[in-house]
Structure 1
Amino acid sequence: MTSPSPPDDDLEELLGDIEAASKVPTKRRLVAIKPTIERATSLLYERGALPDELARLVELLTVRNHLDQASLGAIARNLYPLGKVADEVVLRLVGALGHGHLKPSFPLQGLFLRWLVMVHHLLENPTILSQTYAVLFNLIDTAAIRPQLCHLLALITRRKHVRPFRIQTILNLSHQTGGDPSLIGLLRIFKNYYPEIIIGDITKGRAAAFKHPDTQWRERLDIIQQRHRDSQLDSGPRNGFSVSHVLARQLRGAKALFPAVSTQHAQESSVTLEEINSAEQFVQNLEKIEMPTQLVAVLADPLLQKLLLLRPNAEASARVSNWLMACVGDVASGDVDATLWLDMVEVIHDYALSTKALPPLLLEFFVEFLKAWDGRNKQEAVLETLSFIPITKFQDLRQFLRLLEQSVLNNTPDSQISLLKFYTQLLGRWSIILQAHDDLESIPAGSVPDLITHTNTLALTLSQTSPTVSTYLAILDFYEISASIYSNPRLLQHIDIAIPPPLLVYLLHFSPSLTVLSRLCGTLAVYKRAWEQVMSKSLPRNLTPREREQINVFNGFLMDICNCLWRGRAFATTDLNAQGCRIPQSVPRALGSYIKAVDSDLDLGTIFTLSYSPLLSLQAISYVREREDEEADSLLTRHAGPVTQGSLGQLGIRGGLRMSWPEYRSGVLRYLEEQGLNGVPELMYNTMKNLMKARND
């Protein structure tokens, strides 16, 4: 069964289908790709290609694939860029020129050069082609692309490019080709710079000046570019130092209730916001600017936002709050349609993104909004806006968060993930505020561990309702931000350590993803260093009661992970602090018996170590193979794997690689670091005393 065709106006999906088809030979495709290419080229002709789309299209054209030449040519002829052309696009096209079985066909290369000529004025870096001059000139003997190549060279040639050897090359080629018009045209450009060097009648040939390859294409490009500029003017980022005069046009329908900036009853000596059009004017007249009549426009106008930020005004805040509450009352009474609130959220969202803050008066609005919100409409905008909630005493925030959760959660993992991402964003913004704040005593920093503890329940629930790698990674995003806060000694003086739930740690540890394991171990290593700092004399504070309750729990799952990965004692409970991963001891006994029945040489305690772990065994044996390859000439045998302490000793006796057990395990940790999997090595180096000493030595 084939998937439905993407809509004609979704270029990204069309590109995805074309890219997928390009990797499959024509006879093996289940669906014809030509209709998709026709829709994509039609869309490109109508609205052009955004920078990311242009880069993907150029990559599709320059890498050998299974698309036919007609399709590739159609795409190349409809590459209408929106905005500037990036260096990466230019270099990829230049790199695709020349001979070779992996290069595009010469007709396609000719289209590349023709396109570079037509978009020469749109290059993001006007000198980029000049930097590739030598590469381009060295292709001039390729007859199939010479006319387009000479045209491009004529556009970019400057005095520094005219060299005697290049003049001689053109003269020789011109004699061989019987006076190629494109060569003579380029030689004329050279002669403009050094007329005394180029002599003779060769430049008097029949070559005319280079003409634009396709004037209709250029006209279409100009239309697309102008339309794009107009749309940016209307809906793009506004000038932050001038009043948004298009606001009234943007806020149609219910949004029209938000007034544009307008100052009435202004005096001759005063300055209005409408007169300001630059940062200099704004600074010079800051104290003279008259407050506009409708202050609620602050929610949508960046200049008024700056004014109220630099000149705080209690009366202005009260007026905005009264206006918002009046709107809430109108909706609650049924006088105004409830969609008004959603429109207001969009404007408040823009305001929050602009100011990086959400004032308390807007929180009052959201309290009423959440009571009526269905939790789905404009969910992304609502949650991103609320992630700007300032650091507040958690007991004051708890009721608000309960309202939010009741609105968003609907007994599905998707709703839980949305809420978790909100908490991750919120904690991330709090982290930035804390690190930038000079006086941490003046803000309720204690809300951070309260928020982490509050989110622990959600993360643990989500790990069981949606036990997927993507979910685990989203959970780790949250705890990595938590760990980053505790890695700052200044913040650690004022913020209690709050750890993840033990069950969540074990679930993540036994996940099927090495990335999850590595990130988990890296996060726990940061937590361990934080605990060490609090318990040492380096910080001017002692463990709090909350931390005393957690320290043994943390040491428990830390010991369990080390027992699994390093000590070959998985699920042991006899070691100090070991919890046996908190599973009933009848389970390890049953598993141990089963493993012995399968292979008498195996032991339950060791099958989670570096050599046997399903996640780490490949890296472990790959490290051994790398060492064996380095000494291949002197080896009589290779290790069959998995590596054990005994097998290493036997290997050396049989003429194989000579390596001690500690050297092997340290080498695997280094290998993991080289692969970008730093978490496991970091945790081991910070936990196992023998490794700490070896690394310090």
Structure 2
Amino acid sequence: MSSAVEDKNIKDAIEYFVKEEKIKKKGNVQLSLALKTIDDVSRSKGLSAEDIISLIGVAASGCHGNDISCKLIKCLIPASVFPVRAVELAISYMCTSLPSNKVQAMLLRLLIAVFDYIEKKNVFQKLGYLLFYFIENTMLTPYVCHLLSLLTQREDVRLFRVRRLLELQTKLGSQPYIIGLLSTYKLYFPNLVSIVIPSTRKQFFPTRDRQWCSLIREVQDRNQAADTAHMQSSLELSEKLRATESSIMHGVPPAKRRKVDPIPVIHCSSSKLTVKLSSRLAAMLEERPIPFVQIPDIGTLLRNPVNVELPSQIGAALRSPLFQCFMSYCADLPMTCRFSYWLQDTLCQELLDSTITPACFPRIESILEKLIEFSEFIQEGIPVVDQVLFLYLHVWNGLDFRPQVFRLVTRCRLYPFSVLNENILEPLRKLFVRTSVFIKCQVIMSLTQLLRNYATVEIPRYHQKSSEAKPRVCVFEDTAEVLDPLSTVQELIHFLDRLCTVGLTLENNHSLLLHFTLNFTEWVSESYARYGLPFVYLPSRHITKAFLSDNALGPARLCGVTQSYKRNCQLLREDISSNKIESPHFNQKDTVHSLNILILDLCDTLWRKKAFTHGRIDSYFYFEPGHVDIEANDGLSLYLHQAFLPFSVLFLKETQPQENIGHPRGIKEYRVLFAEFLQREHIDEIRNFILNTFMRYRKSISD
């Protein structure tokens, strides 16, 4: 069907409903054809603003009965933006006695579904509280509360409205939509709302028209992809900003923004506009709140942040760098709580409450990536993200959004180990034992980064919050219980140490997994000198598997880790002796004894050819007498070790004539030269360990 014919058909169909005073319903073929025409056009390319205004007047008046009105409202899918005139008509008709409760409920559901596409939301803002008079209509209450929660600003919160809601709650019981609206009021005026809002909650306003919202999004995607340039020229300022903001999405064309990115654009803000601040605007900034859209740069924003009118699309903070700076600078509780509410609803809807299909992947990945960027910018985790992540990990298949999930794990806030173990570590442990070696490496890497985040960010922030001054050091405040952060870190290190042991056993000491295990061990060995954690945690005996590797980096890095442990242990003992710090978590006697055993084992094996004949029962290389041939002692020496044999042969070729090259055992008398040769080959840890740790250690023993 040509475009001209289609336009004529839709025009005739709309005129049929507008001009007919009374429509016969039973057996009316013309009615069926008109409804089908409008439905087909709305599903394929949406309706223009003029068509929506014409049809909403017919549907909201209820002149043709409930069934026709509800079908027409379902067809009001905007091709671009939803006109504010249609909003005015819908609310105006609701204030009359013409539409029935069923039609009024459909109108409210329509406004919720197209909320992100409504132009001039400031007009809707002014009309919104006419809806408050429908709050006691039990059929409309859930939708009224949802819309009011989206539209509420500080000046809208009044005592009489709080009282009406509390009375309604007494009448209907504890309904989530009433609690949701009261929680929004409590953000602005905590003294007016006495109820306790649960910190871990379900969605106050779950999406009731999921298929309808999905259809609206699909129509918008098709229209933008078909004619982006035409849409940009026809939209108001908000749509221009939408296209401008979308152009920064890592090369994604603006036409595909809504398809791959569900985050709204601030209709009254643009962090990318470079307009000159006029004297009149400067005066407005000093006198009364102005919309965020008129703030050209961060300097203007920070001169008087209290007079900035926040946008209703609070979720667009993930898109606007300027708004992110504003959130981190002001750390305003109502603003961050509104953002948390939006974020929890969005994440629950995308990850938990819907069936994830391959078509949804770009959209969900987009919001997770922007969420990660925001967390990195403010250098803290978001409590509500942790709560959603706790739920998602229990049903996660280990494949969907794996890079994003692991990066969110690394930004998790500080919790008691029992909470951490139940909600993060146990799901990851189950994933760890049943997946490939590459996913095992990702699990170990993410938990190692979580430890680093705890040591560098979360523990200092926790101590700062617990100080007497109690300054606000977080953008997002949480109600975490009192805990011992060092105990959490110690138990997490112990858990990860055991996980590495299991992984190396399952994967037969895979070299890649061994690399990430040594990365974790190296981090732990430097935990005091670099991060100030007042304890030294020695690894379990699985660390010897690195020594038996056929790659020279295995035993070399193990020697480097042992040196690092020795340095940290000495520093910690000195600081404790001089009363610089207190360390109830440091068992000095057992730690020093175990460290000495590890040093002796490495040196007896590499240097003294006593890998299994030193007689120490607590050795890392202890075997029952008779289980190991005494000849094996020589097999793990520095010059005969399987990882260093290629270097031994190369050393002999460089130092001996070609015809006199002998067995690598001949290097025994030149071990120091061979250690220097290894240093030339960039294996520095062996020489440093032997000469700086073992030799000095033996000298101190003899003294």
After TM superposition, the score normalised by the length of structure 2 is: 0.52
Cα drift, residue 611 of structure 1: 2.4
Counterpart among 427, 433, 442 of residue 451 in structure 2:
427
Counterpart among 613, 622, 638 of residue 582 in structure 1:
622
1:260 aligns with 2:265: yes
Cα drift, residue 460 of structure 1: 0.8
Counterpart among 600, 610, 633 of residue 569 in structure 1:
610
Q: C-alpha distance in 2, partners of 1:366/1:349? A: 13
Cα drift, residue 390 of structure 1: 3.4
Counterpart among 673, 683, 695 of residue 689 in structure 1:
695
Aligned positions of 1:506-655 closer than 5 A? 506-536=544-574, 537=577, 540-541=581-582, 544=585, 546=587, 548-575=589-616, 579=619, 581-588=621-628, 591-592=629-630, 603-620=631-648, 622-623=650-651, 625-627=653-655, 640-644=662-666
Q: 1:306 to 1:445 in 2, by over 3 A?
A: farther
Given that 1:566 and 1:610 are in contact with CA atoms closer than 8 Å, whether structure 2 keeps it comes out as yes
**Per-residue deviation, residues 569-602 of structure 1 (Å, max 9, x unmatched):** 0113425x751613333321xx33xxxxxxxxxx
1:234 aligns with 2:247: yes
Cα drift, residue 523 of structure 1: 1.2
Aligned positions of 1:130-529 closer than 5 A? 234-236=247-249, 251-253=257-259, 255-256=261-262, 258-263=263-268, 269-327=288-346, 339=360, 344-402=367-425, 404-405=427-428, 408-409=431-432, 411-412=434-435, 413-433=437-457, 444-466=485-507, 467-488=509-530, 491-492=531-532, 494-502=533-541, 504-529=542-567
Q: C-alpha distance in 1, partners of 2:571/2:405? A: 38
Q: C-alpha distance in 2, partners of 1:392/1:523? A: 29
**Per-residue deviation, residues 530-576 of structure 1 (Å, max 9, x unmatched):** 1222334366446746554444333333322211101110113425x
Q: C-alpha distance in 2, partners of 1:247/1:306? A: 26
Whose RCO is larger (CA < 8 A, sep 6+)?
2
Counterpart secondary structure, 2:485? coil
**What residue is the counterpart of 2:56 in the other structure?**
none
Q: C-alpha distance in 2, partners of 1:404/1:234? A: 38
Q: C-alpha distance in 1, partners of 2:551/2:622? A: 21
RMSD after superposition: 3.9
Counterpart secondary structure, 2:309? coil
**Per-residue deviation, residues 590-624 of structure 1 (Å, max 9, x unmatched):** x33xxxxxxxxxx3322211222222244345445
**Per-residue deviation, residues 461-500 of structure 1 (Å, max 9, x unmatched):** 1112222212211211222222232333xx44x4321122
Q: C-alpha distance in 1, partners of 2:355/2:641? A: 62
Q: C-alpha distance in 2, partners of 1:337/1:624? A: 62
Identity level (%) = 16
Q: C-alpha distance in 2, partners of 1:640/1:323? A: 74
Given that 2:444 and 2:500 are in contact with CA atoms closer than 8 Å, whether structure 1 keeps it comes out as yes
Q: C-alpha distance in 2, partners of 1:510/1:407? A: 28
Q: C-alpha distance in 2, partners of 1:291/1:447? A: 38
After TM superposition, the score normalised by the length of structure 1 is: 0.52
Given that 2:267 and 2:313 are in contact with CA atoms closer than 8 Å, whether structure 1 keeps it comes out as yes
Counterpart secondary structure, 1:461? helix
Query: Which structure 2 residue ranges, 5 or more long, are not aligned?
Result: 1-242, 270-283, 468-483
Q: C-alpha distance in 1, partners of 2:548/2:643? A: 9
Cα drift, residue 295 of structure 1: 1.8
Q: 1:451 to 1:372 in 2, by over 3 A?
A: same
Q: 1:356 to 1:249 in 2, by over 3 A?
A: farther
Cα drift, residue 446 of structure 1: 4.4
Counterpart secondary structure, 1:260? coil
Given that 2:606 and 2:637 are in contact with CA atoms closer than 8 Å, whether structure 1 keeps it comes out as yes
Cα drift, residue 312 of structure 1: 0.6
**Per-residue deviation, residues 333-382 of structure 1 (Å, max 9, x unmatched):** 95786857666434323323443332212212222332333221110111
Counterpart secondary structure, 1:376? coil
Cα drift, residue 690 of structure 1: 5.3
**Per-residue deviation, residues 272-298 of structure 1 (Å, max 9, x unmatched):** 332334343344454433222122222
Aligned residue identity for 1:605: N
Q: 1:248 to 1:392 in 2, by over 3 A?
A: farther
Query: Which structure 1 residue ranges, 5 or more long, are not aligned?
Result: 1-229, 239-245, 593-602, 649-660
Cα drift, residue 383 of structure 1: 0.6
Given that 2:546 and 2:555 are in contact with CA atoms closer than 8 Å, whether structure 1 keeps it comes out as yes
Q: C-alpha distance in 1, partners of 2:514/2:355? A: 43
Counterpart secondary structure, 1:358? coil
Counterpart secondary structure, 1:348? helix
Q: C-alpha distance in 1, partners of 2:512/2:260? A: 39
Q: C-alpha distance in 1, partners of 2:529/2:510? A: 28
Cα drift, residue 456 of structure 1: 0.7
**What is the number of equivalent residue pairs in this alignment?**
417
**What residue is the counterpart of 1:68 in the other structure?**
none
Given that 1:248 and 1:259 are in contact with CA atoms closer than 8 Å, whether structure 2 keeps it comes out as no
Q: C-alpha distance in 1, partners of 2:260/2:606? A: 60
Q: 1:487 to 1:617 in 2, by over 3 A?
A: farther
Given that 2:521 and 2:561 are in contact with CA atoms closer than 8 Å, whether structure 1 keeps it comes out as yes
Aligned residue identity for 2:380: A
**What residue is the counterpart of 1:678 in the other structure?**
684
Given that 1:393 and 1:444 are in contact with CA atoms closer than 8 Å, whether structure 2 keeps it comes out as yes
**What residue is the counterpart of 2:199 in the other structure?**
none
Q: C-alpha distance in 1, partners of 2:573/2:332? A: 46
Counterpart secondary structure, 1:472? helix
Q: C-alpha distance in 2, partners of 1:568/1:333? A: 59
Q: 1:627 to 1:299 in 2, by over 3 A?
A: same
Q: C-alpha distance in 1, partners of 2:526/2:352? A: 47
